[in-house]
Structure 1
Amino acid sequence: MYARSTTVQAHPDLINAGIKHIRDEVMLNLLSMRGCIGLSMLVDRQSRRCIVTSAWDSLDAMAASEAELDPIRNHAAESLGGRPQVDQWEISVVHRDHTSHPGARVRGTWFRVDPSGFEHAVDVYRMAVLPSLAELPGFCSATLLTDQETGLCVSSVTFDDAASIEATRDPVAGIRRAFTRDTGAEILDVGEFELALAHLRVPELV
């Protein structure tokens, strides 16, 4: 399975309208496309970073959607008052303890590993990081998006609410340090987001 993420640095006054546009128009268009298996939207109002991610059941389906999706994506970015940055990923890991509810929060961690150690890093995430995350209070789900060619990866971990994500900052920092020690990964960025839209139908993949 594969994913395409669109990141927009939004205008603060347009974020709510942008969420509504993506929920009411973009999502309906996307879910009607062959091979699309869902969409999510993350919002950090402080940094103004908004990330819309669509999931696809095959690389061919994701590629075939590009021409039709491009004007939709540009319009969505305009509704948020920014310009789109597009990235494509393989969905390497999905684990869901339970479905999210309104008020859920997501911690995203961007990191890079040497492509020669890519498989090892994914194995460490799957066998060591994921069980540790699943024990944390308020854990909802975790997803690992990867680009094996460049070694760039994103871990997206959903918690039940703002209190849970705040309470897990220190233990997650410890898990992150252990992961970098074991894999040589370089942490590029960490962000915390509202889960503004959650309509992914990606099956368990561990």
Structure 2
Amino acid sequence: MFVRTVYSTGDPTNIDTAVRALNTQGRDLLEERPGYRGAGVFVDHRLGKLFAVSWWDTEEARHNSDEVMRERRSSLLDPFAGTVAVDNYEVAVFHAIQHPRVGGGLRLTRLEFDPLDADLVADTFRATEVPRLESLAGLARTSLFVDRERGRGMVDTLFVDRESMAATRAAQAPIRRAGAAKAHVTVTALEEFEVVYADVRAD
């Protein structure tokens, strides 16, 4: 699978307006596109951050959806978004345990690595980190996204509730440290969001 991510920041008092637009008009637009597999919307109300992900069968399907979404994105995010960053990734690893819940938590880890090490990063995450992440209480799903050309990626770890996410901060830290060392990865950012919506067909 492939994903497109949209990361926007803005006035926290207007973030719910953007969330409503994404969950209605935005989802309708996505569901009309061939190859669409699902989407997720995640927010940080305190700081005014919104992170959205759309999932696609193929790179071509994602690319073909770009034009219509690019034209509508500003109106969907208005009046909230002051900055918007759009990125594309390959889904290197997808591991689901249970369905994420509204009000749950997303821990997002941003990575940088030598583009030649993309397979090493994926193999390490799949073989070493996923089995250890499974032991975290409340884990719903974890995925690894990679951009092979730019040597960038992100790990998204979803929990069924924010209490579980908070309780696993210390437990996930050594998993992240060991995986980064083994795969020669630099962790560039660590963020947490509330789950507004998260659904993807992985079969």
**TM category, shorter:** over 0.9
1:65-90 per-residue CA deviation (whole Å, 9 max, x = no partner) reads 11111122121222423232110000
Contact 2:101–2:197 (CA<8 Å) still a contact in 1? no
**What is the SS of the residue equivalent to 2:88?**
strand
Structure 1 gap ranges (5+): none
Contact 1:111–1:186 (CA<8 Å) still a contact in 2? yes
Correspondences of 1:11-26 after superposition (within 5 Å): 11-26=11-26
Structure 1 residue 18 displacement after superposition: 1.2
CA distance in 1, matches of 2:181, 2:47: 29
Correspondences of 1:71-150 after superposition (within 5 Å): 71-150=71-150
Structure 1 residue 32 displacement after superposition: 0.9
1:85-113 per-residue CA deviation (whole Å, 9 max, x = no partner) reads 11000011111101012221010000111
Residue 114 of structure 2 aligns to which amino acid in structure 1?
D
* 2:187 corresponding residue in structure 1: 187
Contact 2:101–2:195 (CA<8 Å) still a contact in 1? no
State, as a whole percentage, how many aligned pairs show the same letter.
26
**What is the SS of the residue equivalent to 1:22?**
helix
* 1:46 corresponding residue in structure 2: 46
**What is the SS of the residue equivalent to 1:131?**
helix
Structure 1 residue 202 displacement after superposition: 2.9
* 1:63 corresponding residue in structure 2: 63
CA distance in 2, matches of 1:102, 1:86: 24
Residue 187 of structure 2 aligns to which amino acid in structure 1?
I
TM normalised by structure 2 equals 0.96
1:131-188 per-residue CA deviation (whole Å, 9 max, x = no partner) reads 1001111111001111011110100000111111111001111111101221121000
The CA RMSD over aligned residues, in Å, is 1.2
TM normalised by structure 1 equals 0.94
CA distance in 2, matches of 1:183, 1:66: 32
How many residue pairs were aligned? Answer: 203
Moved over 6 A (4+): none
